[in-house]
Amino acid sequence: MINILVSSCLIGINCKWNGRNNLKDKVVGLGNHYNLVPFCSEVLGGMPIPRIPSEIRGNKVFNQIELDVTKYFELGAKKVLEIAISNHCKYAILKDHSPSCGTHLIYDGTFTRTLIEGKGYTTRLLEKNGIKVFSEDEVDLLLKEIEQ
């Protein structure tokens, strides 16, 4: 069976910064045909639930009280890559807009809910290592890719 790496919050696990989730039924439904491998890179990187929200600014990540939290994002990304490799995952469905899991857009570092083009730390590392990453709104694209 094909293993697909998935942001845990998309399948209803309460690992978001505010202790909630980003449940997406279509992502959960993938579990009927594929083996989902869930992860939360911010938790893997050592951050608690709940936590102060963070945004990427330049080549670092800061939380809303201006602490540099880059090291947690780097560690989380590395740990997710290890999980992907050990589970032979070629595909991932990640939560867009997150400083870890963002696939197309991220917040701009001003904490004003302003989105800009960009990818999260985990997404970047996974893609650098050949894993195809899709957002939660691209389940159909992923299925097309798998069927090819």
Give the binding site for ligand SF4 (CB under 6 A). 7-9, 15-16, 40-42, 95, 98, 100-101
Extract the tokens encoding 132: 């195809």
Q: Are strands 105-107 and 115-117 parallel, antiparallel or unpaired?
A: antiparallel
Extract the tokens encoding 76: 């989380």
Q: Which is nearer to ligand SF4, 15 or 36 (CB)?
A: 15
The nearest distance, CB 77 to ligand SF4, in angstroms, is 10
CA distance 102 to 147: 25
The nearest distance, CB 148 to ligand SF4, in angstroms, is 27
Q: Which is nearer to ligand SF4, 34 or 93 (CB)?
A: 93
Among candidate residues 45, 35, 36, 26, the one with its CA nearest the CA of residue 137: 26
The nearest distance, CB 14 to ligand SF4, in angstroms, is 9
Secondary structure of residue 96 in the 3-state scheme: coil
CA distance 118 to 108: 9
Q: Which is nearer to ligand SF4, 9 or 34 (CB)?
A: 9
The nearest distance, CB 49 to ligand SF4, in angstroms, is 8
Q: Which is nearer to ligand SF4, 56 or 148 (CB)?
A: 56
